[in-house]
Amino acid sequence: MGCVTNKEQDIKQFNIKLPDSYNHTTIQTEADLPDSQDQFLQIGMQVCSLGDFLPKVYEVYNELGELFQNIQGQYLLMPDQSIYFGQIVNGQRQGIGKQHWPKEGNLLEGTWIDNQLNGRARMIYPNGDYFVGNFLNNIANGLGKFVNSKKQVSGFWLNNKLTGEGTEIRKNGTIYKGQFSEGKIQGIGQFEYANKCIYRGNVCKGKMHGKGELIFNDNTRYIGEFKSNCIQGRGNYEATVSIAGWFHSKFENQTLFIYFFHSETPVLLDSQNCTLIEKKLEQFFD
């Protein structure tokens, strides 16, 4: 028996990286420039500014302020036509600086060692999303934070992917604290939902999934099995009395319907063989 939700949850993988090639939403940072780089890099000759920022990039940049104050240096016109301004040694990026891709719109501020991004850096994307964190040889490694219009995610990045303990704060009021794997909410964690319910237990792909405990906003609780954000499987429902058995749930019209069965049997949810528990909730678990 499945469960019905009011919408599918949009789960994104928060993997931060500097790709080998760029398109309209990603960028390229050269890991190893060719030996003939001096033929392509022009210091302070053809460029004298970073160019105009896209409106969203300009808005976020002004809101956050500069990552590094009072950067001094020179301009480099990079092989991919991006523009770098900052510290330079022997024609390569060395120290703090900024890099702007006028065509794509990305703006990068960071610290370079031997022409590779190493240390603290911040990338602002054309749509206003941004990531700030630590890099090792052009790869996000260490503490970081990713922010977009729907949520803010902070934690530890390992080889470009959010891994281990982290926190996700969604604009709809949901807060998650717990484990991430390969950039996704996965493992053991806790959700505090906007509907005032709290879930603790197993999570998978950003949802309640596996064994856990759901505390409702009326202080009753269900302890047992979940599947894709729905109560489904064997468990206990605890209110003035405790009942144990098999449960299914669905959400519609701002109401969570919980169906209780004394034995595991594939009967219809509207069958007289089940007991119905209703919970009024303004929002679903997302």
By three-state DSSP, how is residue 163 classified? Answer: strand
> Residue 8 half-sphere exposure, CB side, CA atoms within 13 Å?
3
Among 76, 110, 137, give the residue marking a domain's end: 137
Of 77, 110, 137, the position where a domain reaches its end is 137
Which of the listed residues 80, 104, 137 is the one where a domain comes to its end? 137
Residue 11 lies in a domain: no
pLDDT tens digits for 248-280?
999 999 999 999 988 776 555 555 578 889 999
Q: In the chain, at which residue ranges do the beta strands (DSSP E only) sit?
A: 74-77, 83-89, 92-100, 107-113, 116-124, 130-136, 139-147, 151-158, 161-170, 175-181, 184-192, 198-204, 207-215, 221-227, 230-238, 242-252, 255-261, 274-280
- DSSP secondary structure string for all residues of 1-67: -----SS-------B-B--SS--SS-----SS--GGGGGT--BSSS-SS--PPPHHHHHHHHHH--S
Asked whether the predicted pLDDT for residue 65 surpasses 50, the reply is: yes
Please indicate, yes or no, if residue 151 is contained in any of the structural domains.
no
- Domain residues for the domain of 52 are 35-137
Residue 150 maps to a domain: no
User: In this predicted model, which residue has the larger pLDDT, 35 or 70?
Assistant: 70
Question: Lowest-confidence range among 3-17, 93-107, 136-150?
Answer: 3-17
166-185 per-position pLDDT tens digit: 999 999 999 999 999 989 99
How far apart, in whole angstroms, are the C-alpha atoms of residue 132 and residue 215?
35
Counted domains in the chain:
2
pTM of the model: 0.81
Domain match, 193 and 122 both: no
CB atoms < 10 A from the CB of 242, how many?
10
Domain with residue 206: its CATH number is 2.20.110
128 token code pair = 């206003």
Residue 2 forms part of a structural domain: no
The per-residue pLDDT for 26 is: 34
* pLDDT at residue 28, rounded to an integer: 31
Same domain, 128 and 191: no
28/205: higher pLDDT: 205
Distances (CA, A) of 175 to 153, 209, 286: 10, 17, 10
Nearest-angstrom CA–CA distance, 183 and 249? 29
The answer on 213 and 121 residing in a single domain is no
pLDDT tens-digit series, residues 186-228: 999 999 999 999 999 999 999 999 999 999 999 999 999 999 9
Strand partners, 235: 224, 245
- Report CA torsion sign: 38, 39, 40, 41: positive
**Is there a contact between 228 and 249 (Cβ–Cβ < 8 Å)?**
no
Percent of the chain residues past pLDDT 90, beyond the cut = 73
Q: pLDDT averaged over the chain?
A: 84
Strands 221-227 and 175-181: what pairing?
Answer: unpaired
Q: Is residue 154 part of a domain?
A: no
Asked, for residue 8, whether it belongs to a domain, the answer is: no
- What does the alpha-carbon distance between residue 186 and residue 196 come to, in Å, rounded to a whole number? 22
Verify that 51 and 127 share a domain, yes or no: yes
In a domain, 247, yes or no: yes
Place of tokens 């092989």: 79
Sorted by sequence, the CB contacts under 8 Å of residue 172 that are 6+ apart come out as 150, 194, 283, 286
Whether residue 109 is contained in a domain is answered as: yes
